Chains A and B, each alone.
Chain A
Amino acid sequence: MTERNGDMPPGEAAEDTPQEATPQETKPRRRLLFILVPAAFGVLAAVLAWQLETGTPDKIPSALIDKSIPRFDLPPLPGWDAGLASADIEKGGVSLVNVFASWCGPCRIEHPLLMDIAAQDMLPIWGLNYKDQPKDATRWLNQLGDPYTQIGSDLSGRVGIDWGVYGVPETFVIDAEGRIVYKHIGVLTRKDWDEKILPLIEKLRQ
């Protein structure tokens, strides 16, 4: 009897283990779920918060990246010899296309940098004079200087729309094959030039 009683616990234990094994097995899996679900939520929330804080909804990615430049042929400003056509840009090698207007305040801020780049004579800077009165544009250029290789007068803004322009200034980097490689929206700063545009131009020229 005592023997039997002594025998019982191991017998019980042997029967209990399979029953207990199921909850014990699910427990770590459950714990993992309790960690994973909030973790996934946390990651999502962090990404969204980061986008909300640092994202630039005012800067729409260009649909034209890696595409050929739009076809156009624009007349010159009064007093300037040549207008600007897509064929000029295609022949010019790696270049910049700068969309500007005399009515655009920020254009005035980036203008000295464009003058600097032009003075280094390192690449053509094509000017797209967007929805500007030609006489205002010429006054602006005579007063501040003309950094542009050639300028096209886009009075109606139709060529600007073909380029996806929605705010001036905008600056495009064009490769030697006449494709749009990069679009900078807003004022081009010295920092943008040194850190983004210039390295890109050097890479394109290799």
Chain B
Amino acid sequence: MTMRAVPLALAALLLLALMLHLPSAVSAFSADEALDDPAQEARALKLHDELRCPVCQGQAISDSNAELARDLRRIVRERIDAGDSDDAVFDYLSDRYGDFILLRPRVKPTNYVLWFGPALVFVAGAGGLWLFVRRRRGRGAESAPAPLSAAEREELEKLSRDDPA
């Protein structure tokens, strides 16, 4: 019995250790202190979704558990608390981390290709297709023999009259 109790006690200890560790893992998520004003906090959360975590890159800072993401979430709240507009918050962060940090790229000359390129390619493709189809149809009409001119008809008549001779 006592022999079996040892591993059992060890397992219990391990479980206890895990349970004691859990709060610290959870606190990594809950370290964020919400803003008092619910409207401001809602804005902060919205902005968190639109900012990219420079460490994890594929994630928004709202999704990321990276320490830097947490720092950035706090900075967003601080800027909002200081009265910054959404754009001012984006400016603040893109001044430091570049446009990379914006998950929704801005519409500005260096990004025109990104924003309007696909539409341009579509228009060019549609235009090309339209031209292609139109020309094809045009050629189909052309391929039917052109009506004979008056001179040609006369000649044809003359030839058919001559023929039996």
Asked whether A and B interact, the reply is yes
CB <8 Å contact, B98 and A164 = yes
Given A131-B67, A157-B71, also A162-B57 (CB < 8 A): no
Query: How many B residues are at the interface, by size bracket?
Result: 10 to 19
Given A131-B67, A157-B71, A161-B71, also A57-B57 (CB < 8 A): yes
With both chains docked as a complex, state the minimum distance between the C-beta of A15 and any C-beta of chain B, in angstroms: 9
Whether, in the assembled complex, A72 has its beta carbon less than 8 Å from a beta carbon of chain B, the answer is: no
Interface flags, B53-68, vs A, CB<8A=1, else 0: 0110100000000011
- A1, A58, A163: which contacts B96 (Cβ < 8 A)? A163
Binds B, one of A59-67, A81-89, A118-126, A134-142: A59-67
B99 to chain A: which residues have CB within 8 Å? Answer: 63
Whether, in the assembled complex, B47 has its beta carbon less than 8 Å from a beta carbon of chain A, the answer is: no
CB <8 Å contact, A63 and B57 = no
A163 to chain B: which residues have CB within 8 Å? Answer: 96
- A163 and B94 CA atoms in complex are apart in Å by 12
- A158 and B68 CA atoms in complex are apart in Å by 10
- B71, B75, B97: which contacts A63 (Cβ < 8 A)? B97
CB <8 Å contact, B98 and A166 = no
With both chains docked as a complex, state the minimum distance between the C-beta of B13 and any C-beta of chain A, in angstroms: 29
CB <8 Å contact, A63 and B98 = yes
Interface flags, B135-165, vs A, CB<8A=1, else 0: 0000000000000000000000000001000
B100 to chain A: which residues have CB within 8 Å? Answer: 60-61
Whether, in the assembled complex, B95 has its beta carbon less than 8 Å from a beta carbon of chain A, the answer is: yes
Given A63-B95, A63-B96, also A58-B57 (CB < 8 A): yes
CB <8 Å contact, B96 and A60 = no
CB <8 Å contact, A161 and B98 = no
CB <8 Å contact, A166 and B95 = no
Given A63-B96, A64-B96, also A166-B71 (CB < 8 A): no
With both chains docked as a complex, state the minimum distance between the C-beta of A20 and any C-beta of chain B, in angstroms: 11
Closest to A1 in B: B162
Q: What's the dominant secondary structure at chain B's contact region?
A: helix
Given A1-B162, A161-B75, also A166-B67 (CB < 8 A): no
Interface flags, A124-165, vs B, CB<8A=1, else 0: 000000010000000000000000000000001110011110
- A57, A58, A162, A166: which contacts B68 (Cβ < 8 A)? A166
Whether, in the assembled complex, A167 has its beta carbon less than 8 Å from a beta carbon of chain B, the answer is: yes
A58 to chain B: which residues have CB within 8 Å? Answer: 57
Interface flags, A37-79, vs B, CB<8A=1, else 0: 0000000000000000000011011111000000000000000
Whether, in the assembled complex, B72 has its beta carbon less than 8 Å from a beta carbon of chain A, the answer is: yes
Closest to B159 in A: A4
CB <8 Å contact, B54 and A60 = yes
Interface hub of B55, B71, B99 (most chain A Cβ within 10 A): B71
CB <8 Å contact, A166 and B162 = no
CB <8 Å contact, A60 and B55 = no
A60 to chain B: which residues have CB within 8 Å? Answer: 54, 97-98, 100
Known: A156-B71, A164-B97. 14 other contacts (CB 8 A): A60-B97, A60-B98, A61-B98, A62-B98, A63-B95, A64-B96, A157-B71, A158-B71, A161-B71, A161-B72, A161-B75, A162-B96, A166-B97, A167-B54
Closest A-B pairs by Cβ, 4 of them: A63-B98, A166-B54, A164-B96, A60-B100
Q: What are some 6 contacts across the A-B interface (CB < 8 A)? A: A60-B54, A63-B95, A131-B67, A156-B71, A157-B68, A166-B55
Residues of B within 8 A of A (CB): 54-55, 57, 67-68, 71-72, 75, 94-100, 162
